[in-house]
Chain A
Amino acid sequence: MIYTYSSFVNSWGAGPELKKLFQKNTGHDLEFVDVGEAGVILQRVRLEGDSPKADVVLGLDQVQILDSDTQSLFEMLPRLNVNIDQSIEISFVQKEHFVAFNWAPMSFIYRTTEIQNPPQTLEDLVSQGFNSKIVLMDPRTSAPGFIFLNWIVQRMGKEPAIEFLKALKKKVFTVSPSWSSAYGLFKKKQADLVFSYLTSPVYHWIEEKDEIYQPVYLKEKHPVHIEYAGILNTSTQKEKAQAFLDFLLDPDAQKIIMQKNYMLPVTAGVTKGSEFEKLKKVDVFEEKPSLSREEVLNVWKSVKW
């Protein structure tokens, strides 16, 4: 049994096709359980205590897996034996207790009909005329929102980050509680720029045949959102669970995840011939856990939104 988040397991997500392929490849059955948002998965596991029903947890991000309490819930994993895509470093993919199964750089998304000269640096966001045109996410309630704030704080330092956010505030249309509501506002043309996945435009290119949606390629390093899977200590089917993690990095499985999640694969060669190849390669910002989550959030709180 695998605990995961809603959009992975729903009709549009990768879950249903992965399940069929896993059964075909290994003969093992599996069950995905939608636990809601990624943030709730760990709560569910903790509440179930010594008798959690799940074997695998899928969908934790790079911030969640840093917590030592979280790590103690999961098994140590063997070394990976797959070709990792060159755009992401092996240190991002292989962790002691977790393995990454997809990722994406984060950036701002815009429509070419509204913005002809997209920003090239973070400073452009405040110096160019985007008054009330940007949608952000609240870092207290949204994982991408926290990634944005953490990036700003780590790149600039605490005090300059506060100054930058105060300047950015004038350009912000609203701060949304979740990625989906932020992107919804952007799609409804309430804003011209939204902080999202660099891969988000691929959805519009493929599903809507609409190429006006484009990512902002910054001249600096982009923050990333990486999603991980791990095996719970309490699993009674650890071999099958490990087989599932190995399967997740199989090129066929990675292709399904890429096409359904609109995120980048970690295994090499999967994007070949797809729309994802149109995305330019960007440098990735490496987060350092130098500041606690609370310290990062204090920066946000000191800017009166």
Chain B
Amino acid sequence: MVKSVIVFAITFLLLSPYFILIGELQFVEFNWIEFSEAFKNTLVQSLLSAVMSIVFGIIGALGLCSLQGSKKLKYYELACLIPSFLPTLFFVTALLQVVHPFPFGLTGIILVHALTYLGLTALFYQVLFQTKFQKLSELALIEGAKRTQFLMATLKNIKAETVMIFLFLIVQFFTSFSVPLLVGHQDLTIETLIFDKIRTSGNLSLAIWISFIESIFILLLLLFYRAQRSVSIPNSYEHIRLLGLSGAKYLILIPVVLYFVGTLWGTGVGLRQLTSGDFNFIPLLIKSISLSLFTGVFLILALCLITYTYRNRFFDKFLLSFIPLSTILIALSMVLVNFNFGFFEKDVKFVLCMTILFLPVLYRYKLKSELSSLEQQIEVASLMGSTRFLTFRRIVLPQIFPVILSLSGLGAFWAIGDFAISQVLYGQEVTLALFIQNLVGSYRLELANVLMCLLLFTGLIIYSMFRVTKQRSSHVGS
């Protein structure tokens, strides 16, 4: 009963923008030629980008494995997250500043996507290597296996997880908007089409239909996927160093270095504008921090609830395949409802929007595979007569909670950089990200660059806070 209520509540929350905007849905003339062209372009770029991200990600993960046990590891982990946080314009202009001549076109899209998601993919594989092959690496070490032999065996054993990562990346790249336009010289993509229907043609109904078809496509992709059970072997990760490739760790630093080298441009002018301007951005920063923390805490709750519903195939498929509506549509749908929360009304709406956007992503990113790795333990507990609640409280949650904290920290990190949702919800310049966005729109790119660094730094501190909590709870758990 409790499980059904949770499944219903979260499904309802994620689908709520569709429900709110359903009144706008009409049977419209659908231009299939235009759609198929956009679909083809999007599919090609997202497939190739996902493949390249996985290749780079595996190499990056080998670099992270070489750092196992080292204090430097946490800094590298933070470096992994930075590129996925940055607004596309900042990252792309930094890249264009450094990479000459820049390979525009399909190669350019794949390059930017792969560099943006290299860190996240590397982190994902690092955890996989740690949790799945620690024992195997001990054996391999004793038997005298070479690194390449062990690596090949390892990769063969993580096919199912690789499919998951691949799907996660496909979804991310499928919904990529600015990158294909900025560096791709592409004719049309699905997101450009949605954008065109919302903002220029004013055809909301068609935009919702296109989003819906996009979701159906991802759902169909998942029909080919069958989850495999995997065994979790936590505790010491020492011997995973066998997989480590010391030189590969520098690959992770490339996107971050490229960004900061590109960002150095105009820093002097930006700092001068910062010190000479009569504006006070501290209240904006405080608001950004509070919204970020609020989002992080709500995500902890939502991810815990999802964890409680473990082994629900429908819900699992739903979370894996769900694609939220376009950001603008989600924000507009929230504007239309009234929760009567008074002063905090907009803050509540902001957190709900962030949850709708990030919850499925975080689930696909890590929670799904972590829950899969506990399957055997859950089955044993169930056979021994344990209730769902008892299994959740004594077996699942203690092992999953550190992951939930880390994922919520990631959500909080992304939330602090949001401007698209907050712009529509608040209608005023209330966060630092909105302020930065407005600076870019009013010629002041240098000052925006400087403040972006501050926002990035703040986001990393917030993420680290969740990580610290994670480590503490891990100790408690063990």
**A, B from the same assembly:** yes
Give complex CA distance A262, B440 in Å: 14
Least CB distance, B343 to chain A, in whole angstroms? 16
CB of B373 within 8 Å of the partner chain: no
Give the CA-CA distance A164 to B255 in the complex, in Å: 38
Quick check: A141 and B192 within 8 Å, CB to CB? yes
Give, as a whole number of angstroms, the nearest-CB distance from A263 to chain B: 12
B297 within 8 A of A: no
Specify which of B186, B187, B437, B443 is in contact with A6 (CB 8 Å cutoff): B437
Supposing A33-B428, A36-B328, A174-B185 touch, asked if A6 and B423 sit within 8 A by C-beta, the answer is yes
Partner of A301, one of B185, B187, B279, B440: B187
Tell me, yes or no, whether B478 is within 8 Å of chain A by CB.
no
Counting CB contacts under 8 A, is A304 at the interface? yes
8 A Cβ contacts from B421-436 to A: 423-424, 426-429, 434-435
Which chain A residues lie closer than 8 Å to B429 at the CB level?
Answer: 6, 9-11, 34
Chain A residues with CB below 8 A from B196, complex form = 140-141
Kindly state the separation between the CA atoms of A47 and B269 in the bound complex, as whole angstroms: 42
Is there a chain A Cβ closer than 8 Å to B345's Cβ? Answer: no
Query: What is the bound-complex CA distance between A41 and B129, given in angstroms?
Result: 49
Q: Are B181 and A47 in contact (CB under 8 A)?
A: no
Q: What string of 1s and 0s marks CB contacts (under 8 Å) between A42-58 and chain B?
A: 11101110000000000
- Complex CA distance for A33 and B443, rounded to whole angstroms: 22
Q: Which residue of A lies closest to B332 (CB)?
A: A47
Verify A293–B200 contact, CB threshold 8 A: yes
Q: Which residue of B lies closest to A34 (CB)?
A: B427
Contact yes or no, A34 B428, CB < 8 A: yes
Contact of B438 among A10, A35, A141, A174 (CB under 8 A): A10
Among residues of B, the one whose C-beta sits closest to the C-beta of A303 is B187
Cα distance A140–B200 in the bound complex, in angstroms: 7
Considering the chains assembled together, what is the distance between the CA atoms of A178 and B199 in angstroms? 12
B89 within 8 A of A: yes
Residue of B nearest to A305 (CB): B185
Q: Which residue of B lies closest to A174 (CB)?
A: B182
Tell me if B5 is interfacial: C-beta within 8 Å of chain A: no
- Asked if A203 CB lies within 8 Å of chain B CBs, one says yes
CA distance A183 to B199 in the complex (A): 21
CB proximity of B100 to chain A, nearest CB, Å? 10
From B93, B192, B438, contact of A184 by CB (8 A):
B93
Interface string of A220-247 (1 = CB under 8 A from B): 0000000000000000000000000000
**Residues of B with C-beta under 8 A to A32:** 428
Question: Would A188 and B445 be within 8 Å (CB), given that A10-B429, A34-B426, A141-B200 are in contact?
Answer: yes
Cβ of B439 within 8 Å of any chain A Cβ, yes or no, is yes
Bound form: Cα–Cα A305–B184 in Å = 9
A262 to B443, CA, bound (A): 10
Whether A159 sits at the interface, judged by CB under 8 Å, is: no
Contact A141 B199 (CB under 8 A): yes
Knowing A10-B429, A33-B428 are in contact, say whether A174-B104 is a contact too (CB < 8 A). Answer: yes
* Cβ contacts under 8 Å, A140 to chain B: 192, 195-196, 200
List B contacts of A180 (CB < 8 A). 89, 440-441
Task: Give complex CA distance A179, B279 in Å.
Answer: 25
CB contacts (< 8 Å) of A37 on chain B: these are 199
Q: Indicate whether A11 sits within 8 Å of B438 (C-beta atoms), given known contacts A34-B428, A181-B182, A203-B443.
A: yes
B147 interface hit (Cβ, 8 Å): no
Q: Given A7-B442, A12-B442, A35 and B427 touching (CB < 8 A)?
A: yes
Q: Is the CB of B96 within 8 A of A188?
A: yes
Is the pair A47, B443 in contact by a Cβ cutoff of 8 Å? no
Which residues of chain B come closer than 8 Å to A184, judged between CB atoms? 89, 93, 440, 445
B148-172 at interface with A (beta carbon < 8 Å): none
- Verify A305–B187 contact, CB threshold 8 A: yes
A13-B442, A188-B97, A305-B185 given; A44·B332 CB < 8 A? yes
B300 CB → nearest A CB, Å: 30
Most buried by B among A179, A188, A207: A188
A12, B192: Cα distance in complex, Å: 29
CB neighbours (8 Å) of A40 from chain B are: 198-199, 328, 332, 424
**Bound complex: CA of A11 vs CA of B436, how far in Å?**
11
**Cβ contact of A12, chosen from B178, B188, B444, cutoff 8 A:** B444
Q: Which residue of A9, A140, A208 has the most chain B CB atoms within 10 A of its CB atom?
A: A140
Chain A min CB distance to B457 (Å): 21
Taking A10-B442, A301-B188 as contacts, is the C-beta distance between A188 and B181 under 8 angstroms?
no
Looking at A11, A40, A293, the one whose CB has the most chain B CB atoms below 10 A away is A11
Indicate with 1 or 0, residue by residue over B203-214, a CB within 8 angstroms of chain A CB atoms: 010000000000
Q: What are 27 A-B residue pairs whose CB atoms fall within 8 Å in the complex?
A: A6-B429, A6-B437, A11-B429, A11-B435, A12-B438, A13-B438, A13-B442, A34-B428, A35-B424, A37-B199, A40-B328, A40-B332, A43-B332, A44-B332, A48-B335, A140-B192, A141-B200, A177-B192, A179-B441, A181-B440, A184-B89, A184-B445, A185-B93, A188-B265, A190-B96, A207-B443, A262-B443
Across chains A and B, which 8 residue pairs bring their CB atoms closest together, nearest first? A39-B199, A10-B438, A33-B427, A177-B181, A140-B196, A36-B423, A7-B441, A180-B441
Q: Beyond the given A10-B442, A32-B428, could you list 19 further A-B residue pairs with CB under 8 A, ordered by the A residue number?
A: A10-B441, A34-B423, A34-B427, A34-B429, A36-B423, A36-B424, A37-B199, A40-B199, A40-B328, A42-B202, A44-B332, A47-B335, A48-B335, A174-B182, A180-B89, A183-B443, A184-B89, A185-B93, A188-B96
